[in-house]
Amino acid sequence: MSDPDTRRERGSRCAGCGSISAVLTRSLALFGLSVVIAGGHWWTKPAIRVRAGEGRTATPLLAPPERPTTGQTDAPEDVKPDYAASLGAWLDSLPTDIGTDTAFRLWDENLALFIDARPADEYEAGHIPGAFNVPPSKISGISALLDFMGPGDRIVVYCEGGSCDASHLVAIRLEDLGITTVHIDVDGYPGWTAAGHETADGPDELLRWGE
């Protein structure tokens, strides 16, 4: 076969090579873009990190112990250790995300500090009594709370519940500061008020963001 014939045959065989190469290039580019977008979504989506001791979540979630009656707290001393042990086991079994009932129990027995991650105006209109106000926009000032809490303190963060991400952002910052036991009340303040629990209003007496 002459050289011109050979060149023509090769040319006919590779007539579609350019188009195939272009398709493959575009496909790879689109795939790379989708990976970048997916990665960016994963990176920017607020998600509570695995806190220290998270392995204990393998333990079945326990029901909260019944509170001792008035008579039990005044008499048999052997009742108190039993309650304390049951309460401790319940606390150890708590997951990161909790609901209104659990949050109320922690608040009612003074077992946790509460942080309201909503904007200051919403906090002032009504909040869980004793809660500090730390919205994400003021998250850099959360270190001011370290004088009132230690690494072993139990913290509950809440906002509007549902799809509200403010509580997650604040919880992550708390963990960055070394607070290892952080819970998020997924029902938020609406769940608290719907349950008829006590509320307070007015500005945060400690963290006065507007001043």
Over the stretch 34-52, which tens digit does the pLDDT of each residue have?
333 333 333 334 444 434 4
Beta strands in the chain (DSSP E): 97-98, 113-116, 132-133, 154-158, 181-185
Question: Alpha-carbon distance 113 to 130, whole Å?
Answer: 8
Q: Give me the residues paired with residue 113 across strands.
A: 155
Q: Highest mean pLDDT: which of 67-76, 77-86, 140-149, 150-159?
A: 150-159
Question: Alpha-carbon distance 206 to 157, whole Å?
Answer: 17
Domains belonging to the chain, first-starting first, are 51-93 (no CATH), 96-204 (3.40.250.10)
Confidence of residue 113 (pLDDT cuts 50, 70, 90): very high
Closest CA to 62 of 34, 35, 40, 87: 87
Q: Give the β-pairing of 113-116 and 97-98.
A: unpaired
Compute the chain's Rg from CA coordinates. 28
pLDDT number for residue 196: 97
Question: Alpha-carbon distance 38 to 32, whole Å?
Answer: 10
Q: Give me the residues paired with residue 158 across strands.
A: 116, 185
pLDDT number for residue 160: 94
pTM: 0.68
Closest CA to 98 of 155, 47, 34, 41: 155
Confidence of residue 28 (pLDDT cuts 50, 70, 90): very low
Asked whether residue 58 carries a pLDDT value surpassing 70, the answer given is: no
* Mean pLDDT of all residues belonging to the chain: 74
